[in-house]
Amino acid sequence: MDEVRRLPHSVEAEQAVIGSMLLDSRCIPEVIELLGSEDFYLPAHRDIFETMYSMFLAGEVIDPVTALGAMKSRGVYDEQTSRDYMMRLLDVTPTAAHARHYSELVREQSLLRQVAEAAMDIQGMVFEQKGEASDVLDAAEQRIYDIRQGRGNKELYRIPVVLVDVYRQIKEMVEAGGHLPGLQTGIAELDHYLGGLLNSNFVLIASRPGMGKTSIALNIALHATRSSGKAVVFFSLEMSRDQLVTRLLSSEARVPSNSLLMGTLGGDDWSRIGQAAAGLSKMDLLFDDNPAISVAEMKAKCRRVPNLGLIVIDYLQLMQGSPGKRFDNRTTEVGEISRSLKIMAKELNVPVLCLSQLSRENEKRKDKRPMLSDLRESGAIEQDADSVIFLYRGDYYDDEESQPNEAEIIIAKNRHGETANIKVHWEGQFTTFSSRDWQHEGV
């Protein structure tokens, strides 16, 4: 590449960052908050930065002498140039007091390089006609989104770099006083076993029709946005947005859903509805009721949502695979969809909560509680999901031994912890699930 078209970088800023770290190791935590080794353009600077990164993680003293020794141990020391170049870095760095400013300059140039590289890759896909236009567009949006989210570089990461990130996450959890790492669902016992809804996790809630899948999904969506202040996007392929919000009003106002549907309101119902509507209007809850939406379209819409916290999809079996792609059978198509949802959760770094239907197999058994084998088109879904949760209500089958309004949340798969069977309270007239010790004031 000629001089005019060279990739953006600032040798002086990179030198000043490395020099600051060598002059005063107290600035190192601030620098590594902003930069990774991939942000440096020159390989020599990457080597020195990674060396000090590893030393910082190990709690070692960092200065020019110890850094040179560590470079020798790592095999990135050159007898002819390394020592002289490190001394030069110290000479050209006036002070470590401006380390943050130098780091921001380096980060700025790194972002510009990533945009330039993404643009070249996108141009290559266009001219080589790799895939359909929608595929190219989705790939282009993903590249830019990754850069915005700080995940633009697709490199291999050495374990010291990953360990620093893990160390930071653990420290944040300790400082938070052991609070849930994920979004709250509103059901305390479920949160206990799952740790809340964790970023990049694909969570499946499945049941037979009529058990309350949509209801619990709405309950979780509302509680998640209320408790976190983050945006929740609810994709409904079956019910309209008006029907969903009507259910939320019923639950929040404590007015039976049938009364809302039939218009048979009385007493202080209107007052309750008004208060509930005022509260709901403050929630960052977004709905999409397009019944023909694809995973790629979901992902494209969610990328544009600021402060995204959770994606909810109702429900899996109504979704279609990639447009224009042929599948041997429905099982293969559903497998591709579930895999795409898991990838979406990872790429957007938010939990994806998806509802699913069960086959009729459980109804053939004496004990009708669902099992993993009851998932329709199950194999790939079970494999892709980080957690699989079943809903079961004994009174739905006229089970004389069951308690009225008692429901069970069965955690059948939990990649991050134990499986469990949780008893919860079901209020059908308000389409609401809640913990058994929940009590509503004034009712």
Active-site residue set: 238
Amino acid identity of 201?
Answer: N
Q: Around Cβ 80, how many Cβ atoms within 10 Å?
A: 7
Rg (CA), the chain: 27
CA distances from residue 96 to 32, 40, 89 in whole angstroms, order as listed:
14, 18, 12
Residue from 255, 256, 293 nearest 271 by CA: 255
- Give the C-alpha separation, 291 to 284, whole Å: 22
Phi first, then psi: give them for residue 372, nearest 5 degrees: -55, -35
* Nearest-angstrom CA–CA distance, 352 and 362: 26
Q: State the CB neighbour count (10 A cutoff) for residue 53.
A: 23
Contact (Cβ atoms closer than 8 angstroms) between residue 391 and residue 408: yes
Q: Considering only CA atoms, which of 412, 436, 1 is closest in space to residue 207?
A: 412
Neighbours of 429 (CB within 10 A): 14
Contact of 93 with 14, CB cutoff 8 Å: no
Q: Are 37 and 46 in contact (CB under 8 A)?
A: yes
Between the alpha carbon of residue 133 and those of residues 37, 115, 125, 352, the distances in Å are: 34, 20, 10, 26
Q: How far apart are CA 187 and CA 64, in angstroms?
A: 54
Cα–Cα distance for residue pair 196/105, rounded to 1 Å: 38
**C-alpha span between 253 and 433 (Å, rounded):** 15
- Name residue, tokens 């995973």: 295
The DSSP bridge pattern shows strands 231-236 and 432-435 to be unpaired
Nearest to 410 by CA among 206, 118, 219, 255: 206
Q: Where are the alpha helices (DSSP H) in 254-367?
A: 257-262, 269-280, 295-303, 330-348
